[in-house]
Copies of this chain bind each other. A is one copy, B any other.
Amino acid sequence: MSKMYKEMTKEELLNEQNELTKRYDEFKARGLKLDMSRGKPGKDQLDLSAGLNDVKDYVADGLDVRNYGILDGIPSCKKLFADLMGVDAKNVIIGPNASLTLMFDYISQCYTHGAGSTPWCKLDEVKFLCPVPGYDRHFTICEHFGIKMINVPMKADGPDMDVIEELIKDESVKGMFCVPKYSNPQGITFSDEVVERIAAMKPAAKDFRLIWDNAYCIHDLDDNGDELLNIFDILPKYDNEDMVIEVCSTSKITFPGAGVSALIASDNNIAAIKKRLNAQTISYDKMNQHRHVEFFKNADGVLEHMKKHAAILKPKFDIVLKHLENELGGKGIANWFNPKGGYFISLDVMPGCAKRTGELCKEAGVTLTTVGATYPYGVDPDDSNIRIAPSFPPVDELDIAAELLCICVRLACVEKFLG
């Protein structure tokens, strides 16, 4: 069963194709409609936070949270995030329901006002480094502002630092988006060495900004989660505090559409952001901040809550990984990581076979993340990466979808070998 495809004879390949097509057609005949495209929590996960809607009082830290005021978040909510992220509350700004907005708005601010520098809109060219595969919404922000994206390969312990250290000698390279823990889509956590090298970077651009999107900071799949160094503990050693903007949110802790986000930054950056916020808003939704504090009580409350998510998610990851191992293991046609947390499994199939796999899945009723979306401009140069999002479908549907996906991968690869 696990003969390498490249060692198969034409006849063996045709046999394989024959068998796979039979299985594929059986699935297809079932008229499936399954979705593994979005990193969306399932309904059972959302129900874990039903208690949020029980919070009715409106006094927090002696303030009426219903009224105007408090630009950077209510003190109790700032403390909650500060404790979770291991930083001072003064370095936290509580944001709207999506950390994506905090990132977009910060890049927009750099574009219109610079980062203690010439506004980026006044420059001929601005470039960002993009570890790939990566998160499509980071790429969309760059594209929106006409920022030229440069691919940087991901290694097993984070982005290739040799490449990065070379590229940042170019003064027009102004920044980089990272998901340092359980990266999207690979689930890779940056090693201590990588975090240290990142914190020590000396980019030619004095206004280089690293967007540290810690979306999955506490999103372990079990008690055996990865540890990520707190970059803000290391930055002072290199006099680099102003280089990093960290964001996180409760999107995958409470409600994706009605959570609370937070931004963590140096004193200088916090001051610059508050100056903009003072023109942009009267305050973010303090009632929702208060709801979250009342519901969780403290950082330990959040961590306890995350164990309930893990209990729901772990079996979903396991079933996908089981199929990958069973169907694709030892055939030399696919690689993947076994992530210890996050929301995705990243599957690298034989070059030139990802799009075809996506097509085959679609025809049989399984929606995958658009192939290519994990690369800037939607172009995967190897046509190899497939992002699997196991969180939303129920386990029984995943069981079907994952098996079918594997069949499609194999079919696509056989086709490729048969030319």
Interface residues of A (CB under 8 A from B): 38, 40-41, 43, 46, 49-50, 53-56, 58, 64-70, 96-98, 100-101, 104-105, 108, 111-112, 119, 121-122, 137, 140-141, 143-145, 251, 255-258, 276, 278-288
Question: Is A257 touching B144 in the complex (CB atoms < 8 A)?
Answer: no
Instruction: Kindly list chain B residues whose C-beta atoms are within 8 Å of the C-beta of A279.
Output: 104, 137, 140-141, 143-144
Question: Is A40 touching B53 in the complex (CB atoms < 8 A)?
Answer: no
Instruction: Kindly list chain B residues whose C-beta atoms are within 8 Å of the C-beta of A40.
Output: 67-68
Q: Which residue of B lies closest to A68 (CB)?
A: B256
Chain B nearest Cβ from A49, distance in angstroms: 8
A56, A141, A258: which has the most chain B beta carbons within 10 Å? Answer: A258
Chain B nearest Cβ from A119, distance in angstroms: 7
Instruction: Kindly list chain B residues whose C-beta atoms are within 8 Å of the C-beta of A50.
Output: 56
Q: Roughly how many angstroms separate A38 CA and B280 CA in the complex, as a whole number? A: 17
Chain B nearest Cβ from A247, distance in angstroms: 13
Question: Is B122 touching A112 in the complex (CB atoms < 8 A)?
Answer: no
Given contacts A65-B258, A145-B112, contact A101 B280 (CB under 8 A): yes
User: Which residue in B104, B122, B280 is a CB contact (below 8 Å) of A100?
Assistant: B280
User: Which residue in B70, B100, B122, B276 is a CB contact (below 8 Å) of A144?
Assistant: B276
| A–B pairs, 22, beta carbons within 8 Å | A41-B67, A46-B67, A53-B58, A65-B257, A65-B258, A67-B256, A96-B96, A101-B281, A104-B279, A104-B281, A108-B112, A111-B121, A121-B121, A140-B279, A141-B279, A144-B276, A144-B279, A257-B282, A257-B285, A258-B285, A258-B288, A285-B288
6 pairs of A and B residues whose beta carbons are closest in the complex: A258-B287, A66-B255, A144-B279, A121-B121, A104-B280, A53-B56
Instruction: Kindly list chain B residues whose C-beta atoms are within 8 Å of the C-beta of A111.
Output: 112, 121
Given contacts A55-B53, A56-B53, contact A257 B112 (CB under 8 A): no
Given contacts A257-B287, A258-B287, contact A282 B66 (CB under 8 A): no
Q: Roughly how many angstroms separate A347 CA and B46 CA in the complex, as a whole number? A: 52
Q: Which residue of B lies closest to A283 (CB)?
A: B257
Question: Is A257 touching B280 in the complex (CB atoms < 8 A)?
Answer: no
Instruction: Kindly list chain B residues whose C-beta atoms are within 8 Å of the C-beta of A283.
Output: 97-98, 257
Chain B nearest Cβ from A213, distance in angstroms: 13
Q: Roughly how many angstroms separate A317 CA and B40 CA in the complex, as a whole number? A: 50
Q: Which residue of B lies closest to A49 (CB)?
A: B66
Question: Is B66 touching A256 in the complex (CB atoms < 8 A)?
Answer: yes
Instruction: Kindly list chain B residues whose C-beta atoms are within 8 Å of the C-beta of A288.
Output: 258, 285, 288
Instruction: Kindly list chain B residues whose C-beta atoms are within 8 Å of the C-beta of A255.
Output: 66-67, 287
Q: Roughly how many angstroms separate A122 CA and B251 CA in the complex, as a whole number? A: 36
Chain B nearest Cβ from A379, distance in angstroms: 18
Given contacts A140-B278, A282-B100, contact A257 B66 (CB under 8 A): yes
Given A70-B257, A100-B282, 5 additional A-B pairs, CB 8 A: A96-B96, A98-B281, A108-B112, A257-B283, A257-B286
User: Which residue in B54, B101, B108 is a CB contact (below 8 Å) of A108?
Assistant: B108
Q: Which residue of B lies closest to A69 (CB)?
A: B257
Q: Which residue of B lies closest to A42 (CB)?
A: B67
Q: Roughly how many angstroms separate A278 CA and B141 CA in the complex, as a whole number? A: 9
